[in-house]
Every structure is written in C-alpha cells, then in structure tokens.
Chains A and B, each alone.
Chain A
Amino acid sequence: MSRTAFRIPAPPEVVVAPARLLGQVVRALGHRFPPSDRLFTQMHNVGNNSAVFISVTLGFLGLILVYQGCVQTLKVLPDLSGVGAAFIFAMVRTFGPTITGMMIATRVGAGIAAEIGSMTVTDQIEAMKVANSDPVSYILGPRFVSCVVMTPILWVFGTLVGVLFGYLMGHWRFGIATQTFLDLGLVSYHDVVIGFLKALSYGIVIPVLAADAGFKARGGSEGVGWATTTAVVNASFAVIVLDFVISTLSFLLGY
C-alpha cells in the first residue's frame, strides 16, 4: 500500500504574483530611488488628493458611530461617559486605519491600476522595456513609496477628523462634556502602534495589488476596466484580511 506524502499546497497565483512584484519593487528601490519630482507628484496625488475624500468618509463614520453608540447605550444605561473613550479607541485601532485603507484602495488603487493597465494595453510598458527602463522601478516605484508614506499620514488625519465629528455629534446632540468625550484613557501606546502597523501594511499591499492588476491588463479598454475592478476588489479584500490578521495576532500576543 502506497503512502501519500503530505504536501503543503502551493499558494495561489493571486498571492504569488503580487509577492513577486513586491520583491521586485523593493529591489528596484534599493537599486535606484525615484527622483524627488516624480515622488512628490505621486505623494500629492495619493495624499493631498485623497484628503477630502477621506475626511468626508471618516467624518460621516464618526457621526454615525457616536450617534448609534449613544442611542444603543441609552437603551440600557443612562450614562454616556464611556462612549467617547470607546469610540476613540475603536477609531485609533481599527476604524481609522481600515476605513482609510479601504478609501485608498478604491481611489488610489483604482487610479494606479487604470494608469498601468492603460500603459500595458497601449504597449507603453513594452516601449519602456525595449528602452532598457524597468517599468516596475519607473512606474510602481514612486507610487509604492508614496502609498507607504502617505497611508499612515492619512490614517492620523482621517482618525482626527473622525474623532472631531464624533465629538461634535456626542457634544451637541447628546450633551457629552468635552473632557468626558475626549478621554484617551482606553488608548494605549500599543493601540497606536497597531493602528500604525495596519496603515503601513495597507500602504504596502494596495499599490502592489493595483499594479499587479494593471500589468496583467490585456486587450483594450475592456482590459483596463478589468484591471481597475480587480485592483479595487483585491485591495479592499486585502485590507479586510490584514485587519483581521493583525488584530488577531495582537490579541494573541496580549496587545
């Protein structure tokens, strides 16, 4: 009777290809860092151009969370003093980085995929290769660095906006005192680190997944549409999975 050896299943292509691309871009950046003008253009695109979008989204999220938190709390307790601290804790640790990541996945990820996809289907990528320019370094390099730098900054910015709007709701609609609402008692140094790690990891995976979809675009406008949709779906899914993985790991490690 033959014995079947246990084999670890090979990871799916949807994981392997972006991982390979991540390795390529890190190597390319080590070899040649993008020039400052192209880097600042991309940072402006990722950061400044996303700021309003993220402010509005996290602002509304803050309003909704505090409103619902207060309404539900009042059903069982006449005391709203813990709402602000719990809300700020949730914003710093989970909602701030993850909703920021989702918004960057949709706005920036879609943009990167459409841009690279359009270059792929119009042979611009091949024109770069034949000119001895590395498309991963030239196109993805500045976008990758910009996302890695700007996502944590947008996390801080978005979280502050969300907390501000949550405070406005709690203070003006439910009468929670400023000092009571803006209570940082539940937020520890570890929560800030975990929020930062989440934002950083989103900043790493979003441009890579988007670029991977863009480089795989085939055909014409249909291929660009496919790349854009794939980038948004994969990047959004990756944000949720990373949120879960980092949260679970931090829980298991006691943070």
Chain B
Amino acid sequence: MEAAAELLDIRKELSGTRVLDGATLSLAAGRIHALVGPGGSGKTLILKTLCTLLPPDSGQVVLFGEPVDFLAPEGLRRTRARIGVQFQNLALFDFLSVRDNVAFPLEADASAAPPQDVERRVLAILDAVRLPGAAALEIQSLSGGMQRRVAIARAAVSDADFLVFDDPSGGLDPVTTSRIFALISEIQARRRCTVVIASHDIDRLARVCEDFHVVEGGRVIFSGTLAEGRNHADPRVRTFLDVTDART
C-alpha cells in the first residue's frame, strides 16, 4: 500500500541530547495510525518531524511520495497546505475568537478559499465538533474539552490529506474522549485521508486505529496491527500494547 508519510532513519539532537535516534516509520495512506509509547519517548517530536516543523539532523522525510526539502520554502508551503495538526498543548491563538482560530488555516494561506466558502466550512466543522454557536466566543472562555474540540476543528477545517492529532484526549473525561475519537474516525471515513494519533489511551485507540507504531527511546520499535503487537517478541512492545488504558 502507498505511504502518505515516511520517516527514514531520522536523527535529531536538541540541546546536546539525542532525541530521535534513527526513527523509521511508514504511514500507509488512507488509514488511521496510532503512535504510542511511554512519555518522553519521542512521539511528539516524530509528529513534528512529520509535519515539517522539525528539520532532522540526518535522515529523510517523505510526504505524499516526495522527499521534503526543509530549505525550500515554496515546497514546504505546498506540503503544509495538505497537513492539518492538533498540537499536544492545543496552540490555540488566545487573541482570536473561536471562529478566527478555526478559519486561520483557510485565511492564512495565500491561496485562501473565498470568504463565503470559509464561513461555510467553519460553521460545518464547528457543527461537527458539537460547538455550534461558539464561533463568536473567546478562547479563554471555553472549558478544556471545548478548547480541545476547537483545536481538532482547526486541524480538520481544510481538506488536508494528512491529519495529525497529538494527544487529542489529554485531560478529558471518558465521555468527551469517546466523542473525540469517534469524531476523528468520522472525519477520516468521510475524507479517506491519512490520520495519525499519538495517545496513551490504548483502549480507545484500539477502537479506531488500524495500525499501531510503538516509539521507545527516539525510535520506532514496532509497526503493525494491535494483535501482532500483543504477540511481539519484544517485551517492551507487548508491555505497552497488552494493557488497557496504558497511561504513563
């Protein structure tokens, strides 16, 4: 199956510490992938590398079949136009309203959609994340769960081919968590885009994800289905996947 995103032997040092140590990963197109691993294993850095936000010291990033040139602004612009990201700490713009936050990816790009189209898409995605009528609200006035849904709406508002969700259920109650995972699954089913979700919530990941990738010490030590992972020879893979609600 064709890969939407690939990391090939990625190495990265930050402040003298090797944070990615030969990470190799292939995300098949049109599927939902889970990226799991203990805290501090490098999941977020792998996601940032996939989003073209973290240039590696060595190795290659291939997105949509083309190697990413981190020094070519025009190429990066075209690639990023096909990516939607929900950051671990949400990264919502606290000086903008909910509507302006969600519309940001559509309006920031020079090749922006016409204004009527922007409004239609923003209202549709806010409706999908069950925040109708929240468009005019300020970000600070929202609860944690609502903010997370706004971040998901912002990631999914454009017709991105590759959606990245970094801990979409962090700090949320079980009901909201289930809704968020169902929403991500619904978006993927409708668009047939490639989705990667980093989370510790193995139970809920198991319900929506087809492929699992286990990260440990800055490298991907397993890629496959959940069943394969639970029968893997490496005890680190088994330990991490063979638990329910494996929070670290």
What CA separation (Å) do A127 and B80 show in the bound complex?
A: 11
Q: A130-B85, A131-B80, A131-B104 are in contact. Are A123 and B91 (CB under 8 A)?
A: yes
Chain A 128-154: CB-based contact to B (< 8 A → 1; otherwise 0): 111111000010000000000000000
Interface size class of A (residues with CB under 8 A): 10 to 19
CB-CB < 8 A to A128: which residues of B? 104, 108
Q: A122 contacts B110, CB within 8 Å?
A: no
Among A192-218, those with CB < 8 Å from B are none
Taking the complex as formed, is B130 at the interface, i.e. its CB lies under 8 A from any CB of chain A?
no
By the criterion CB–CB under 8 Å, are A123 and B89 in contact? yes
Q: Does A126 sit at the interface, judged by CB under 8 A? A: yes
Chain B 70-93 interface 0/1 with A at a Cβ cutoff of 8 Å (1 = within)? 000000010011010101110111
Q: A124 an interface residue at 8 Å Cβ cutoff?
A: yes
* A127 and B109 within 8 A (CB): no
Instruction: Classify the interface of chain A: helix, strand, loop or mixed.
Output: helix
Q: Mark B44-61, 1 if CB is under 8 A from A, else 0.
A: 000010011100000000
Which are the 6 A-B pairs with shortest beta-carbon distances?
A133-B108, A123-B91, A127-B91, A131-B105, A132-B109, A123-B87
Query: Could you say which residues of chain A place their CB within 8 Å of the CB of B88?
Result: 123
- Residues on B lying within 8 angstroms of A by beta carbon are 48, 51-53, 77, 80-81, 83, 85, 87-89, 91-94, 104-105, 108-110, 154
Chain A positions within 8 Å of B, measured between CB atoms, are 119, 122-124, 126-133, 138
B105 to A: closest C-beta gap in Å: 4
Contact partner, A132, options B53, B94, B110, Cβ 8 Å:
B110
**Which residues from A are CB-within-8-Å of B48?**
126
B52 contact set on A, CB distance < 8 A: 130
Give the chain B neighbours of A131 by CB distance below 8 A: 80, 104-105, 108-109
B108, A126: Cβ atoms closer than 8 Å: no
Report Cα–Cα, A138/B110, bound state, in Å.
13
30 A-B pairs in the complex with CB atoms less than 8 angstroms apart: A119-B93, A122-B89, A122-B91, A123-B87, A123-B88, A123-B89, A124-B93, A124-B94, A126-B48, A126-B53, A126-B91, A127-B91, A127-B154, A128-B104, A129-B53, A129-B80, A130-B51, A130-B52, A130-B53, A130-B83, A130-B85, A131-B104, A132-B77, A132-B105, A132-B108, A132-B109, A132-B110, A133-B108, A133-B109, A138-B108
